[in-house]
Amino acid sequence: MRQFTYERATSAASAAAAVADNGNAKFIAGGTNLLDLMKLEIETPTHLIDVNGLGLDKIEATEKGGLKIGALVRNTDLAADERVRRDYGVLTRALVAGASGQLRNKATTAGNLLQRTRCPYFYDTNQPCNKRQPGSGCSAIGGVTRQLGIVGVSDQCIATHPSDMAVAMRALDATVETVKSDGVTRSIPIADFHRLPGDTPHIETALDQGEIITAVTLPPPVAGRHVYRKVRDRASYAFALVSVAAIVRPDGTGRVALGGVAHKPWRVEAAEADMPNGAATVMRKLLDGARTTEENEFKVTLAERTLAGILEETKG
Amino acid sequence: MRFDTPATNNPIDQMKVVGQAITRIDGPRKVTGTATYAYEWHDASLKAAYGYPVGAAIAKGRISSMDVQAARQAPGVLAVVTAESAGKLGKGSLNTATLMGGPEIQHYHQAIAVVVAETFEQARSAAQLIKVDYVEAPGAFDLAAEMENAVKPESGDPDSAAGDFGPAFEAAAVKLDERYTTPDQSHAMMEPHASLAVWNGDELTLWTSNQMIAWNRAQIAATLGMEEDKIHIMSPFIGGGFGSKLFLRSDALLAALGAKAAGRPVKLALPRPFLMNNTTHRPATIQRIRIGAGQDGRITAIGHESWSGDLPGGGPEAAVMQTRLLYAGQHRMTAMRLATLDLPEGNAMRAPGEAPGLMALEIAMDEMAEKLGIDPVEFRIINDTQVDPEKPEKQFSHRQFVECLRLGAERFGWERRNPTPGSVRDGRWLVGMGVASAFRNNLVMKSGARVRLDREGVVTVETDMTDIGTGTYTIIAQTAAEMMGLTVDKVAVNLGDTRFPVSAGSGGQWGANSSTAGVYAACVALREKIAQKLGFNSTDVTFADGEIRSGNRAISLAQAAGDDGITAEDTIEYGDVSEEKQQSTFGAHFVEVGIDAYTAEIRVRRMLGVAAAGRILNPITARSQMIGAMTMGVGGAFMEELAVDKRRGFFVNHDLAGYEVPVHADIHDQEVIFLDETDPYSSPMKAKGVGELGLCGVAAALANAVHNATGVRVRNYPVTLDKIIRDLPRIG
Ligand SMILES: Cc1cc2nc3c(=O)[nH]c(=O)nc-3n(C[C@H](O)[C@H](O)[C@H](O)COP(=O)(O)OP(=O)(O)OC[C@H]3O[C@@H](n4cnc5c(N)ncnc54)[C@H](O)[C@@H]3O)c2cc1C
Ligand code: SF4
């Protein structure tokens, strides 16, 4: 870990400005991802701006009938919120499937969206990695890839986004609210928030330098059975091999998003029309163009069978 | 005391304290944070500085240049030591690669430097400033690819044969010839290797986390070119070792070198990724098993071959050993072959040999039972032997293997198992049961102890034996209490200090029986001395209720001790008796698993381990050993695998996020049964090892249960969902 200076932000805009002006500055929220990466010198900020004191820790009803979740709301509190549990069950289920109780007590909404990949080569600074060190190459391709991505991958990077929460938010059509250093706000649909790796796997989101997340807004509740199914080798405390967030209405129509398969939560709206026709049909469109390795091609079958299980369970 | 005839009746047989369910006496210290582990000696007077290691970034080659200037000048840095500046270093006989690499690099994350600074953060940060250029050399990293180049190891009984295996196998009515693989695995114990080194002139004091401190002292002496008597090691508490702390590792060496260079005490803990690539691991194996039997289920031919790899000078994983002793069969062969691999050093881990060997053998037995149409429990029983099958004149000292199988089957409800795979469903779960035999040899080791009776009537035991979380403190206290007619609260136990008599140490499941036998010997000597001092005839005294009694005379031990106290010391040494009979431990594992019919996720529903392992010294600590080992078996069966990057030659998943071991949610219903048994051939304690036995066979029982649940036979560990999902019944 490199030495760094630290300050507590007093307003979102001033925090944004401080980071915008300093390429080596970063926000810190729960610190559960950033500090680990700093210890390994995968992240090397020289200045940290603590955003915990900005009062962004509330969950409020919106005029449109949705919910506005402050960027600093802890994963534990979000999962436990009565409105979330009642109306956005897929989100609660995704949250509690993630990490551990202790981590969720610290982890924040914004931090969770911005957590970085768990590709093992990204974590070993002796190994080339385009995401960690642009242009150095991708060690994972041709190496150990069981956990890695199968859709939307590129020749530069096949990493996945590890978040569970984000997959549920993608199914819910959430919007990420931000403020830039000049005070200008943006509402970024979650579909556009995370990027595919392409030639620039180190650029992971639509955020500009210094742009701060203030909230995530959920539209009015979506009716149907809310399911989050996270598949992993051990029963808890592991990242998803594949996860499926689904909302299924009694007639079999609904929404589905996947985790553990791509550089972003993976959803193809056009595939959803096929939900009444079964998982295989949905997956043909949802995973169209999948590019697998020998080690991770099982994820195609796994995603399909996981969805099949959900469709079976939510029948009638 | 020489142990060269089978044990007869002795005070331990009273079982007033030994064999009782006494909670661990070090428990309160552990839960209150007052059991001090190596890295936790915060004694301010020591003014310890912090060391941080630098590991090689390549698997094989040479360092062409190394720039430590920036690190030296970094804030707080006191010293930087490399192979160049360390001076001449030797290599301990128990290490395969040198602990300090450079210029030659033998494996990934081989230590090449240590940075010492005022704070941990400064040391870590400065370590990252060291710039190293390498010239990489091609290496061999793929066991399967190197199989054909594997050779017969020079030592360690690589081949065995009896009868005429080849023709007998060919002629067998029912035959199996299959190949199985087990992956590289990491010990992944909770406490990483850690040491605090303090120099006083040319004398070195080391607080470290080590299972075998006498070995460790000799290895440090050899590595640093010192006299053993100038080295003082303390290792009173150890947060797990599982074999990775049997040997001197880089933490101790780097702390010692750093402390010398900095002129300050230095503490150093290996960062988690170093556990996988810097220390030792269990080597992967490829195993071929051939079994031939008659239609009656009797094995006529059994052959087991195993290939593993290691660095030059290393040894094989002895995966065939149990096959020489477990089942009958007139014609038999085993063979081990060793390939040269440039991966990190392979060595002992959690029941080395038998654990991976039974992972393969016990699947093969399940497959064979299926071919024969015989229940797998019965098939094993049919092939029981009461003699060493290679040397029929040699009997087992005590072998209740069949009893374990029968009792386990009954308690587990084995008769409810449906022999047709894939036929039991519970909601979304496909349910299956599996069985496997447990077998591990019982080793005995010379072990010493010193006991002192003081005027408070308290007996203090000192031995360099270690407690790696196993419960050594408690069983030693029980032994001394039984021998001296006391309760355990009147016994103090001090362990893990090279100033104490040399013990068996903790390894190979020999620790409990051997170290308590050493305490027994010392207590016999103490009883003598007390009797003598009081003028009692030592042959007709009894020790009970804090008193020594003879005829109608009784004197309290406190009084007998007097102001000076009485001290005795002895060592148990084993004569031929341990060679006369084959000493082994036996058991059976029964498990039930559920496989999600959709996702193929594999979850354990219940487990039962039955063990026949001599006298159980303490049912609580022994049970803890068993359930811990069974949990490791779940890891071995379903998740543990060091993923090899075969291009760059290292274990990629080098942290506990990537190297998965079971978590609480994976472990539900675990039951343990110990058969009532004493083995007079093992020691005066009549006990044997149980910790490693608990792991032997578990993974195969689980793999067999997966087959019973799904009909899918996986022969390559770990058994993970990707290996079965395509063969599950179609859905939807
Ligand atoms: C052992 C372990 C297991 C885990 N398992 C799971 C799991 O199973 N599933 C899962 O989904 N997650 C898992 N996680 C990840 C965990 O969810 C994230 O670490 C956590 O959500 C990050 O939140 P944080 O507030 O701590 O972020 P921080 O570490 O504080 O920050 C993360 C990033 O977000 C940026 N940031 C923070 N707040 C803002 C803001 N308001 N605006 C702009 N940028 C901001 C920071 O600069 C930083 O780059 C695991 C983590 C660990 C350590
Ligand atoms: S997959 Fe992406 S994160 Fe992983 S090594 Fe390649 S570039 Fe780096």
| Three-state helix/strand/coil letters over B457-470 | CCEEEECCCCCCCC
CA of B647 to the centre of ligand 1 (A): 32
| Fold of the domain spanning B2-35+444-577 | Aldehyde Oxidoreductase; domain 4 (3.30.365)
Residue identifier of the C-alpha nearest atom 28 of ligand 1: A31
What stretches of chain A show up as alpha helix (H) in DSSP?
A: 12-20, 34-39, 75-80, 82-87, 89-96, 101-106, 109-114, 165-171, 190-193, 269-272, 279-286, 298-313
B296-305, B403-412, B577-586, B642-651: which has the minimum mean pLDDT?
A: B577-586
Active site residues of B: 692
Residues of B in contact with A39 (CB under 8 A): 124
**Model confidence band, residue B525 (pLDDT cutoffs 50, 70, 90):** very high
Q: Are domains B2-35+444-577 and B353-442+583-727 of this chain identical in fold? A: yes
Region B665-679 average pLDDT: 97
Q: Does A127 touch chain B (CB under 8 A)?
A: yes
Give the residue extent of every domain in chain B: 2-35+444-577, 353-442+583-727
In angstroms, rounded to a whole number, what is the distance separating the alpha carbons of residues B477 and A230?
48
- CB distance A32 to ligand 1 below 6 Å: yes
A92-96, B369-373, B456-460, B549-553: which has the minimum mean pLDDT?
A: B549-553
Per-residue pLDDT at B578? 75
Q: Does A278 touch chain B (CB under 8 A)?
A: yes
Region A138-143 average pLDDT: 98
Region B616-630 average pLDDT: 98
Residue B548 has pLDDT above 90, yes or no: yes
- Strand boundaries in B575-658, DSSP class E: 584-596, 602-612, 644-645, 650-651
Residues of A in contact with B663 (CB under 8 A): 234-237
Residues of B in contact with A232 (CB under 8 A): 601
ipTM, 2 dp: 0.97
Whole-model pTM above 0.95? Answer: yes
In angstroms, rounded to a whole number, what is the distance separating the alpha carbons of residues B173 and B80?
67
In angstroms, rounded to a whole number, what is the distance separating the alpha carbons of residues B251 and A259?
40
Q: How far is A61 from chain B (nearest CA, A)?
A: 36
- Strand boundaries in B566-632, DSSP class E: 566-574, 584-596, 602-612
In angstroms, rounded to a whole number, what is the distance separating the alpha carbons of residues A26 and A21?
11
Query: Which ligand is in closest contact with the Cα of A163?
Result: 1
Q: Taking CB atoms and an 8 Å limit, are B721 and A278 in contact across chains?
A: no
Place of tokens 């939900």: A275
Per-residue pLDDT at B128? 96
Tens-digit pLDDT profile for residues B233-292: 999 999 999 999 999 999 999 999 999 999 999 999 999 999 999 999 999 999 999 999
For chain A, percent of residues with pLDDT exceeding 70: 100
Per-residue pLDDT at B576? 86
Tens-digit pLDDT profile for residues B342-393: 999 999 999 999 999 999 999 999 999 999 999 999 999 999 999 999 999 9
Per-residue pLDDT at B732? 60
Choose, out of B108, B109, B429, B601, the residue to mutate when testing the contact with A (most A CBs < 10 Å). B601
For chain B, percent of residues with pLDDT exceeding 90: 97
For chain B, percent of residues with pLDDT exceeding 70: 100
Tens-digit pLDDT profile for residues B133-175: 999 999 999 999 999 999 999 988 899 999 999 999 999 999 9
Using CA atoms of A256, A261, A264, A270 in order, give the dihedral in degrees to the nearest 10.
-40
Tens-digit pLDDT profile for residues B71-130: 999 999 999 999 999 999 999 999 999 999 999 999 999 999 999 999 999 999 999 999
Instruction: Name every protein residue with a CB atom under 6 angstroms from any ligand 2 atom.
Output: A 117, 119, 121-122, 129-131, 138-140, 148, 157-159, 201
Tens-digit pLDDT profile for residues A143-177: 999 999 999 999 999 999 999 999 999 999 999 99
Distances (CA, A) of B632 to A234, A299, B698: 13, 27, 8
Tens-digit pLDDT profile for residues A208-217: 999 999 999 9
Element (H, E) at B144: helix B143-146
In angstroms, rounded to a whole number, what is the distance separating the alpha carbons of residues B349 and B361?
18
| Fold of the domain spanning B353-442+583-727 | Aldehyde Oxidoreductase; domain 4 (3.30.365)
Q: Does B658 touch chain A (CB under 8 A)?
A: yes
Region A16-30 average pLDDT: 95
Per-residue pLDDT at B45? 80
Report the sign of the C-alpha dihedral through residues B214, B490, B477, B472, in that order: negative
- Of the candidates A100, A123, A150, A99, the one whose C-alpha atom is nearest the C-alpha of residue A259 is A150
Residue A232 has pLDDT above 90, yes or no: yes
Residue B731 has pLDDT above 90, yes or no: no
Choose, out of A35, A117, A138, A302, the residue to mutate when testing the contact with B (most B CBs < 10 Å). A302
Per-residue pLDDT at B577? 85
Q: Taking CB atoms and an 8 Å limit, are B598 and A41 in contact across chains?
A: no
Residues B628/B190, Cβ–Cβ less than 8 Å: no
Mean pLDDT estimate for chain B: 97
In angstroms, rounded to a whole number, what is the distance separating the alpha carbons of residues A79 and B158?
58
Distances (CA, A) of A294 to A111, B404, B506, B721: 33, 42, 42, 15
Q: How many CB atoms lie within 10 A of CB B189?
A: 21
